A = this chain, B = another copy of it.
């Protein structure tokens, strides 16, 4: 599915595009097997508990993160779209079975994987309902946090190879 948002809507997005030095099949495995996902999903030394991982449109996707200082981050949501080896979309706006959520931070994320040179172009487009939510996400450390996770994903996928 192509996304053709209006220019105004694109202004609500935060986007990371990275060339990741690992093959798509290994990145796909690292993303879609919860026992693997939990090993790179949040910036270390925080840890991830995968509370639900029903990898299909409308399936629950729920992670719970915990920091060494006792801080926590609870993130229920649902998968929206799965295209094997190419695309995963998920949102915090809905829970499993399409049930509306009451997210502490409302966003949808579309992750795309494409071959590029001997590596993978990894793009994360994170869409928000408005500029205020986008800015809040940025101020919470979106770019540092997600880039750190992509570093961890790259290193982890290289180990899988």
Contacts and interface: CB of A to CB of B under 8 A. Distances in A.
Contact of A91 (B1, B12, B94, B110): B94
Contacts of A128: 100
Contacts of A50: none
The number of times this chain is found in the oligomer is 2
A97 interface: yes
A94 B93 contact: yes
Contact of A97 (B4, B93, B94, B107): B4
A3 B97 contact: yes
A107 B93 CA distance: 11
B1 A97 contact: yes
A54 to B, nearest CB: 10
A56 B98 contact: no
Contact of A80 (B3, B9, B58): B58
Interface in A84-103: 89, 91, 93-102
Given A1-B58, A57-B57, A81-B58, A110 B127 contact: no
A108 interface: yes
Contact of A98 (B80, B99, B106): B80
